[in-house]
Amino acid sequence: MLRNKKIILGVCGGIAAYKAVELLRLLTKAGAEVHVIMTRAAEEFIAPLTFQTLSSNPVHTGLFDLIAEMEIGHISLADRADLFIVAPATANVIGKIAAGIADDMLTTTVMATKAPVLFAPAMNVNMYSNPIYKDNEQKLRRLGYLFESPVSGTLACGWEGEGKLAAPEAIFEGAVAALAEKDLAGLTVMITAGPTREEIDPVRYISNHSSGKMGYALARAARSRGAQVILVSGPTALSEPEGVTLIRVTSAIEMQSEVMAHVAACDVVIKAAAVADYRPLIRNSTKIKKNAHSVTIELVKNPDILAGLGAMDYRLKPRPFLVGFAAETDALAENAAKKLNEKKLDMIVANDVTQSDAGFNVDTNRALLFFRDGSSSDCGLMSKDKLAGTILDHVVARLVK
């Protein structure tokens, strides 16, 4: 995706400037041609030579740097860029750009470019929550500028809270997203992810090993491709994907009610969640004590959310493209084809969860795709991010038909 793309990496003066080095490495490793612009303040934190050596390109600092102006010039740099990343982006630089001030190489080039601009802010927690900063960010977002939000943690200033630069990997993903083809623009995609938890009493529940990674990868990929994404997620340890409407649920019943509340607005529904098939008939309101020698918990069947979507009456609204998942331990193809037919799906992603490199809690998957028209496709072993892209390629190809 980033091969031969021309990316400008703007580095502002903040303690997180050193993390821009790691971001630069990720970008160059992916084949991008990176040109670094540093503000005067950034030079106080890290030497331009570091960026120059790792990017194999001259680093731009002063606006009136004669050599840079003669050889490249800020306007030509701005014109040739496919993407502009500002990481770390300080409150000062974001404020200046929001106000239309262009008084150094970085702000001038951001103002002059027609390429997408991705800000990765990093600052003190109180600066980040300051309404002046919030207004500036909102204004830039409204104008189409992209943001990779900071995360919470211990900040260099000693404060605890939001303001820590997003991980270089997350900013890299943001860059990939910014450059992706927007072939899902105008469409709403609902994705369910993670496990559900069915409570036995206030301290115990029944659940499964789903981590939510596949569903979250799909949500990020769909968002990158321009879709409005509604992510209905069971409990996971994953961070909230940027630009996605995240609806958190716990039980299958809650997931069903959120899915039903939003399905009318959706063009595509992808059910990657590992929904618990059964829930305890009775949820004890107090903790069950271990007085008895053995305990029997009666379970009742949960609604099959996906089958419900397949069976709905779509006379009043268009039927969304329905994608299911099939987690199997045996007879993969047979079971998946059965689920495709019984749940009236357009497509099913089948994976053998007994394999160590597929299914629950790992970053890779091995999937077989089956389609309503009887065709199938073997995706082989790939990362969940790559598989998410492949699944969406098939959805797009079939939606267009």
Please identify every residue annotated as catalytic: 157
Cβ closer to ligand CTP: 22 or 277? 277
Closest separation in Å from C-beta 360 to ligand CTP: 11
Binders in 77-96 for ligand CTP, by CB under 6 A: none
- Nearest distance in Å: CB 302, ligand CTP: 5
Cβ pair 107, 96 in contact under 8 A: yes
Residue the block writes with tokens 């990093």: 122
Stretch of residues binding ligand CTP (CB under 6 A), selected from 76-84, 143-151, 304-312, 392-400: 304-312
Site string for ligand CTP, 226-255 (x = CB under 6 A): --------------------------x---
In 3D space, the residue among 7, 224, 1, 243 whose CA is nearest the CA of residue 113 turns out to be: 7
- Residue 275 touching ligand CTP (CB under 6 A): yes
Nearer to ligand CTP, 82 or 198 (CB): 198
Q: What x-and-dash track marks residues 309-348 binding ligand CTP by CB under 6 A? A: ---------------xxxx-----------x---------
- Please report where in the chains the tokens 């997620």 appear, as a residue: 233
Please, what is the Cα angle at 190 between 187 and 192, to 5 degrees? Answer: 160
Backbone angles phi, psi at 235, to 5 degrees: -65, 125
- Cα distances from 196 to residues 185, 216, 253, 396, in angstroms, run 30, 15, 9, 29
Shortest Cβ 255–ligand CTP spacing (Å)? 8
CB 367, min distance to ligand CTP, A: 12
Strand 151-154 to strand 278-280: parallel, antiparallel, or no bridges (unpaired)?
Answer: unpaired
Helix or strand (DSSP H, E) at 112: helix 105-112
Tell me which residue of 12, 13, 19, 10 sits closest to 151, measured CA to CA.
Answer: 19
> Three-state SS across 180-193?
CCCCCCCCEEEEEE
**With binding defined as CB under 6 A, does residue 197 bind ligand CTP?**
no
CB of 121 to ligand CTP, least distance (A): 36
Residues forming contacts to ligand CTP in the complex (CB under 6 A) are 252, 271, 273, 275, 277, 302, 304-306, 324-327, 339
